[in-house]
Amino acid sequence: MPVEPLSQKEIEDRLAELPGWSLDGDRIARSYRLGSHFAATAMVVHIAQTQEELDHHSDLTLGYNTVSLTIHTHSVGGAVTEKDFELARRVEALAPGHGAS
């Protein structure tokens, strides 16, 4: 997968396909609400497993019943790349199973 910084338009086009995700500075970001603290914690573990599988990692914040992520690509100086969107899509795919919204 190419690890090149995406243009503003490429980012906007990809965000349009990912409801709930937005550009936060130089990162893409999303917050999920869960039914309990335990459910939020379980989702964090699942995301961590996915990140290890992709070898691509977000900054994750666990709240009382929320999970918040920001993602950018360290190896290109913190720009947004396709690898960030690959991770975002994988998180979107696993979220419903946790009852996340």
Ligand X SMILES: C[C@H](O)[C@H](O)[C@H]1CNC2=NC(N)=NC(=O)C2=N1
**Does residue 27 bind ligand X (CB under 6 A)?**
no
d(CA 23, CA 71): 10
Task: Give the residue with the Cβ less far from ligand X, 54 or 93.
Answer: 54
Q: What is the token pair recorded at 31?
A: 């917050």
Q: What is the token pair recorded at 27?
A: 């990162």
Per CB under 6 A, which region of 16-24, 38-46, 67-75, 89-97 contacts ligand X?
67-75
Q: HSE-up of 70 (CA within 13 Å, CB side)? A: 10
Please name which of 42, 25, 30 lies closest in space to residue 69, comparing C-alpha atoms: 30
Residues 39-58, mask of contacts with ligand X (x by CB under 6 A): ----------------xxx-
Site size with ligand X, rule: CB under 6 A:
6
Interface residues with ligand X (CB under 6 A) are 55-57, 73-75
